[in-house]
């Protein structure tokens, strides 16, 4: 059995790959940042270079 330790951020438009041990977990989904986890209530972007994700 293989344990997945990296996966794409659950935010649809986000390009980030997150380490599940360091990710922000919300409702069973893994996000790269609080911005993604909270639906980008304060605008676009997750703070990672080159990523312009939004809700």
What average pLDDT is seen over the chain? 95
The pTM of this model reads 0.89
Kindly tell me if the per-residue pLDDT of 2 is higher than 90: no
Kindly tell me if the per-residue pLDDT of 4 is higher than 90: no
If pLDDT is split at 50, 70 and 90, which confidence band does 50 have?
very high
CA dist 54 and 28 (Å) reads: 20
CA dist 5 and 44 (Å) reads: 26
Contact assessment for residue 33 and residue 46, using Cβ atoms and an 8 Å cutoff: yes
**Over residues 7-36, mean pLDDT:** 97
Q: What percent of the chain has pLDDT over 70?
A: 100
């Amino acid at each position: 059995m293989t344990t997945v330790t990296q996966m794409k951020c659950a935010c649809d438009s986000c390009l980030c790959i997150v380490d599940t041990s360091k990710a922000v977990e919300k409702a069973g989904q893994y996000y790269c940042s609080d911005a993604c986890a909270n639906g980008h209530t304060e605008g676009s972007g997750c703070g990672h270079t080159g990523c312009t994700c939004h809700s």
